[in-house]
């Protein structure tokens, strides 16, 4: 069943649950916005990522989901729910909330709960294209495959306050580095390699700032211990102290961003920062960062026979990450920091 865009008053989009996936869903959400241009577009998301959608110009309202929050969704009085997660739970939630039109992929045995069930792509595609495929099959024209995050002035001010509290020197170019990854240790470039990169960036006149969640603290502390004492004063550490908004501000302030395959990597590309993305066991053709207009991204891999294995922990010698040298990443960062001619 289709619905006339002119008749739809309130469109509810259920966001993916992880930060990187939510960023990669932004092009599809922008497509929905253009199609239902006269409707109120509401995004429902986990608390940890909900503020992302306050920084996108396409969304009218953001609803924070706390588990199976049926009453919250029912209060939105949506005409249509578009489910970006593949889970049975998301379909059951909007069904119980009484949303009359429930659209999503036919996945996780939920077809009976959907008023429109779309077959998933038959071949591997980038995750952002996967979300666009869903809305395109619903009759919604695809726009650019370009996530975009707007940087609020408050986010920049919060970032500067945090950086100043760590002895930031604004005259030195700032390189932001996110050495963590939620998927597992196999996705993480070696701490020794990060320490070497940081030291050499400081040698060429940069300041560096480490960012990440509280769960990344052990990794960043390990890296700090490997950095020479004379260099460490130019490596600022904001691990575990940024909000999503202040992280966006830090990224926007930096001249380049270095990261493993992570949610922060996707945020940086959507902000428009130059991004050096380190990929090990994961499929770069499915989750590489997508730059916004004018942005620059360098995807770095070390080709070995066993990648991409998609394993959380390497069962052998982590050769895909060990073989990616700090020299190569440094060269990429220096290139990204040089304005295009």
pLDDT digit string (tens) for 84-126? Answer: 999 999 999 999 999 999 999 999 999 999 999 999 999 999 9
Rounded to a whole number of angstroms, the distance between the first and last alpha carbons of the chain is: 51
Are the CB atoms for 186 and 280 separated by under 8 Å? yes
Predicted pLDDT of residue 339: 80
Per DSSP, what are the bridge partners of residue 210? 177, 237
Residue-level pLDDT at 7: 76
Confidence band, pLDDT 50/70/90 cuts, at residue 181: confident
3-state secondary structure of 14: strand
Query: 37-69 pLDDT, tens per residue?
Result: 999 999 999 999 999 999 998 999 999 998 768
In sequence order, the β-bridge partners of residue 300 are: 278
Mean pLDDT, the chain, whole residue set:
95
Give which of 80, 74, 19 is closest to 45, Cα–Cα. 19
pLDDT at 67: 75
| pLDDT of 3 above 80 | no
The confidence band for 341, taking pLDDT boundaries of 50, 70 and 90, is low
- In this structure, how many other beta carbons lie within 10 angstroms of the beta carbon of residue 251? 30
Q: Which residues pair with 14 in a beta bridge?
A: 44, 83
The size of the chain, in residues, is 341
Q: How far is it, in rounded angstroms, from Cα 200 to Cα 187?
A: 23
Q: What region, left, alpha or beta, does residue 336 occupy, with left being phi > 0 and alpha being psi -120 to 50 degrees? A: alpha
pTM of the model: 0.95
Q: Are strands 101-105 and 116-118 parallel, antiparallel or unpaired?
A: parallel
Which of 54, 27, 29, 51 shows the shortest CA–CA distance to 39?
29
Q: Provide the 10 A C-beta neighbour count for residue 282.
A: 23
pLDDT band at 213, cuts 50/70/90?
very high
Does 1 have pLDDT greater than 60? no
- For the chain, list the strands marked E by DSSP: 10-14, 40-46, 61-65, 80-83, 101-105, 116-118, 174-178, 207-210, 235-237, 256-260, 275-278, 297-300
- Return the residue matching tokens 């302030």: 253
Which segments within 233-273 are labelled E, that is strand? 235-237, 256-260
User: Which residues lie below 8 Å from residue 299, measured CB to CB, with a gap of 6+?
Assistant: 277, 279, 284, 288, 289
pLDDT tier at 274, thresholds 50, 70, 90: very high
Domain annotation for the chain: domains and CATH numbers:
10-137 (3.40.50.2000), 153-337 (3.40.50.2000)
pLDDT for 30 beyond 90: yes
Residue 19 to residue 23: CA distance in whole angstroms: 6
Largest distance between two CA atoms of the chain: 66
Q: In the block, which residue shows the tokens 């916005």?
A: 33
Q: Where are the beta strands (DSSP E) in 228-308?
A: 235-237, 256-260, 275-278, 297-300
Show Cβ contacts of residue 25 under 8 Å, excluding neighbours closer than 6 positions: 15, 16, 84, 128, 131
């Amino acid at each position: 069943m289709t619905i006339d865009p002119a008749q739809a008053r309130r469109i509810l989009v259920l966001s993916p649950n992880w930060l990187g996936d939510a960023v990669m869903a932004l092009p599809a959400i922008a497509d929905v916005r253009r199609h239902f241009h006269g409707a109120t577009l509401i995004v429902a998301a986990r608390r940890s990522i909900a503020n992302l959608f306050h920084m996108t110009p396409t969304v009218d309202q953001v609803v924070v989901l706390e588990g199976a929050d049926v009453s919250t969704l029912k209060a939105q009085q949506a005409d249509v729910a578009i489910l970006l997660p593949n889970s049975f739970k998301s379909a059951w939630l909007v069904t119980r909330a009484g949303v009359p039109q429930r659209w999503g992929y036919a996945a996780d045995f939920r077809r009976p709960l959907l008023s429109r069930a779309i077959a998933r792509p038959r071949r591997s595609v980038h995750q952002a294209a996967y979300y666009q495929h869903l809305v395109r099959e619903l009759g919604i024209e695809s726009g650019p495959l370009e996530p975009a995050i707007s940087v609020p002035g408050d986010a920049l001010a919060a970032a500067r306050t945090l950086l100043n509290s760590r002895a930031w020197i604004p005259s030195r170019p700032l390189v932001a580095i996110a050495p963590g990854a939620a998927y597992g240790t196999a996705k993480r470039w070696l701490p020794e390699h990060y320490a070497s990169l940081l030291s050499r960036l400081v040698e060429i006149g940069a300041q560096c700032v480490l960012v990440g969640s509280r769960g990344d603290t052990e990794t960043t502390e390990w890296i700090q211990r490997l950095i020479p004492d004379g260099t460490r004063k130019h490596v600022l550490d904001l691990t575990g102290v940024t909000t999503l908004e202040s992280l966006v501000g830090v990224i926007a302030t930096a001249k380049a961003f270095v990261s493993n395959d992570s949610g922060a990597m996707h945020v940086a590309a959507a902000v428009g920062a130059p991004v050096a993305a380190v990929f090990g066991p994961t499929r770069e053709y499915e989750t590489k960062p997508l730059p916004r207009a004018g942005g620059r991204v360098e995807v770095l891999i070390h080709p070995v026979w066993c990648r991409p294995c998609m394993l959380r922990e390497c069962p052998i010698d982590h050769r895909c990450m060990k073989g990616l040298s700090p020299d190569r990443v440094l060269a990429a960062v220096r290139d990204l920091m040089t304005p295009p001619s």
